[in-house]
Amino acid sequence: MLELTSRTIDQVAWNVGSEDAGSFSKVFQKVIEPKPQDYRKRFAVTPSTHCAAPPRRGPEAVMAER
């Protein structure tokens, strides 16, 4: 969720069931290692890194491949 949304760490913590961002961060660091903020900076999906859908092809292109 951290890499796919611009929600705050508090909001992400609440969404995954933690009532407190501090506790969430401690558990996150034990399991994943970097702080949630550092993880987000490293792995955030941006429009330039997000895989775009392939362009749609018309029926002529599909038929030409057969």
Instruction: Pick left, alpha or beta for residue 47 (phi over 0 → left; psi -120 to 50 → alpha; otherwise beta).
Output: alpha
Task: Kindly write down the DSSP assignment for every residue of 26-64, as one continuous string.
Answer: HHHHHHH-S-HHHHHHHH---TTTSPPPPPP--HHHHHH
Using 50, 70 and 90 to split pLDDT, how confident is the model at 52?
low
Give every CB contact of residue 51 below 8 A, 6+ residues apart in sequence: none
Q: Looking at residue 1, what DSSP letter applies?
A: -
The pLDDT of 42-65, averaged and rounded, is: 63
Q: Which pLDDT does position 62 carry in this prediction? A: 55
